[in-house]
């Protein structure tokens, strides 16, 4: 066939060269040329408020990250088979943010690679094959990560040893999720595969943002551990402060830095935040209070980190106990050419220092409360589920959710929709979003809802 002419709009040229599998957000896509803080700019210089992107956690085009990356790229960029101080400095600082049991890190480049490695380690350590995931989970793009990602749809076959369970619901007791997980683990036992692990996104993002009830994850992990399996916490979405704690799993335990529990807000005109309770029309209820610190079941066996880790540089990690890494390393040679390379590490160092130094988890808890309450006050959502700066607002259909997303885009505010039914507005801004940004978001949301009809 003859080569097509390279003409047309940017959108047409893109469609002519990229795989048809690529998707664009919004019925009227946005062309971006720059970003700064929680703001993105198009070719006409118009300012879009970014209420969606979690990768630039400390802000788009962060000057400290840009300087560190440029300086490191101009000095040395190689792999992890030489001694380099930055790698060790960063590993020490990162592990200091985890409970002491989690004392080793393996670096990779994407969340998918890290999930893949975590699952291989769990299978190696337990001698079991089965993996339990939530009903609409997303864990990544490798063959193994896709095989544990039911949200990819019916044509993406799950692995033969993968069992799904419905995610936690804020209205149920922590033990309800644990009971579903126990039943799934029993099924895996009966099949002969056994349960190698429970793999769970600690905020169940793709299930429609389901942070609560507090305690659900450790209770479920206890069931899997009682049957010889492990708890793998997928922290790609909730990690690095997003949920109001440094790590998403900490919200479920007394290990949390500030014990910020997520909450659900139901009905219109919600006001006031109670400590703990049940969600009923018009009332706000905490998911619950974290349990006592230090229980063995409170700490995952493996945590998987990604997305915000390098503020856009490709770096991810598997955090694990020494024994898990030793067993795996004795049987399998693992080397990741770009994983933990000096330029990525330089970016990650700035991110970690900023998240801790500026107490971004605390900021996420405070500002997240404002966003969730403001959204609930519109009266348009049957429920607003949130933990820190990650909110899922429940609408009654995917069509309405898409209409609100598009109406907001027309008002230069960027969000998206999520959940099994596509009917949950997903609000997840960079962690450095400020009060003025939130005012603007809530004003435009109100106008968009008026346009679409409440």
Q: Where along the sequence are the contacts to ligand PMP (CB under 6 A)?
A: 110-112, 115, 138-141, 201, 205, 234, 236-237, 306-307
- Strands laid side by side in the 302-305 sheet: 104-108, 316-320, 302-305, 230-234, 195-201, 130-134, 162-165
Q: How far is CA 121 from each of CA 61, 202, 213, 267, rounded to the nearest angstrom?
A: 35, 19, 28, 44
Smallest CA-to-CA distance from 235 within 116, 332, 170, 317 is with 317
CA Rg value for the chain: 22
Shortest Cβ 111–ligand PMP spacing (Å):
2
Least separation in angstroms between CB 250 and ligand PMP = 17
User: Residue with CB nearest ligand PMP?
Assistant: 111
In this complex, which beta carbon is closest to ligand PMP, that of residue 306 or of residue 340?
Answer: 306
Q: For the beta carbon of residue 154, count every other beta carbon within 10 angstroms.
A: 7
Shortest distance, position 141 Cβ to ligand PMP, whole Å: 5
Q: Where does 278-397 have alpha helices with state H?
A: 322-331, 342-357, 360-377
Closest to ligand PMP by CB, 348 vs 376, is 348
The C-alpha atoms of residue 439 and residue 353 are separated, in whole angstroms, by 28
CB of 202 to ligand PMP, least distance (A): 9
> What are the tokens at 435?
């009060």
Question: Which residue lies nearer to ligand PMP by CB, 99 or 248?
Answer: 248
For ligand PMP, which is the closer residue by CB, 207 or 437? Answer: 207
> Whole-angstrom Cα distance, residue 33 to residue 46?
10
Residues in the chain: 454
Smallest separation (angstroms) from ligand PMP to the CB of 14: 20
Which of residues 68 and 317 has its CB atom nearest to ligand PMP in the complex?
Answer: 317
Q: CB of 54: closest distance to ligand PMP in angstroms?
A: 9
Cβ proximity to ligand PMP, 61 vs 141, nearer residue: 141
Of the two residues 196 and 232, which places its CB atom closer to ligand PMP in the complex? 232
Which SS3 state, helix, strand or coil, does residue 338 take?
A: coil
Q: Give the Cα separation of 13 and 6 in Å (integer).
A: 7
Shortest Å distance, C-beta 274 to ligand PMP: 29
Neighbours of 319 (CB within 10 A): 27
Shortest CA distance to 287 belongs to which of 384, 199, 375, 145? 384
């Amino acid at each position: 066939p003859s080569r097509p002419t390279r003409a047309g709009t940017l959108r047409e040229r893109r469609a002519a060269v990229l795989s048809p599998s690529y998707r664009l957000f919004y019925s009227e896509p946005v062309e971006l040329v720059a970003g700064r803080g929680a703001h993105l700019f198009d070719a006409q210089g118009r300012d879009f408020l970014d209420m969606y992107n979690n990768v630039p956690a400390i802000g788009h085009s962060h000057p400290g990250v840009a300087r560190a990356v440029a300086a490191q790229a101009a000095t040395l960029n190689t792999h992890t088979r030489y001694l380099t101080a930055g790698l060790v400095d960063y590993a020490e600082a990162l592990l200091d943010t985890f409970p002491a049991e989690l004392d080793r890190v393996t670096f990779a480049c994407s969340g998918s690679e890290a999930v893949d490695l975590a699952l291989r380690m769990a299978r190696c350590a337990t001698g079991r094959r089965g993996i339990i995931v939530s009903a609409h989970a997303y864990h990544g793009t490798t063959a193994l990560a896709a095989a544990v990602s039911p949200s990819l749809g019916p044509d993406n076959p799950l692995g033969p040893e993968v069992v799904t369970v419905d995610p936690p619901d804020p209205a149920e007791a922590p033990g309800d999720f644990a009971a579903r997980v126990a039943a799934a683990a029993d099924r895996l036992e009966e099949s002969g595969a056994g349960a190698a692990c429970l793999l769970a996104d600690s905020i169940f993002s793709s299930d429609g943002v389901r942070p609560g009830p507090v305690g659900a994850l450790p209770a479920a992990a206890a069931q899997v551990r009682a049957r010889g399996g492990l708890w793998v916490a997928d922290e790609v979405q909730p990690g690095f402060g997003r949920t109001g704690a440094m790590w998403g799993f900490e919200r479920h335990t007394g290990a949390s830095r500030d014990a910020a529990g997520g909450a659900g807000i139901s009905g219109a005109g919600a006001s006031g935040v109670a400590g703990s309770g049940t969600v009923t029309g018009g009332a706000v209820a905490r998911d619950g209070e974290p349990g006592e610190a230090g229980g063995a079941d409170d700490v995952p066996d493996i945590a998987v980190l990604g997305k915000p880790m390098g503020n856009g540089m490709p770096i991810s990690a598997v955090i694990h106990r020494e024994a898990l890494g030793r067993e795996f390393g004795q049987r399998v040679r693992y080397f990741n050419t770009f994983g933990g390379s000096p330029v990525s590490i330089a970016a990650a160092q700035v991110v970690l220092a900023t998240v801790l130094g500026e107490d971004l988890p605390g900021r996420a808890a405070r500002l997240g409360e404002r966003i969730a309450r403001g959204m609930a006050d519109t009266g348009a959502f049957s429920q607003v589920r949130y933990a820190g700066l990650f909110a899922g607002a429940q609408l009654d259909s995917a069509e309405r959710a898409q209409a609100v997303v598009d109406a907001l885009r027309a008002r230069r505010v960027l969000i998206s929709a999520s959940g099994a039914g596509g009917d949950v507005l997903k609000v997840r801004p960079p962690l450095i979003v400020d009060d003025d940004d939130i005012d603007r978001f809530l004003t435009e949301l109100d106008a968009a809802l008026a346009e679409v009809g409440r």
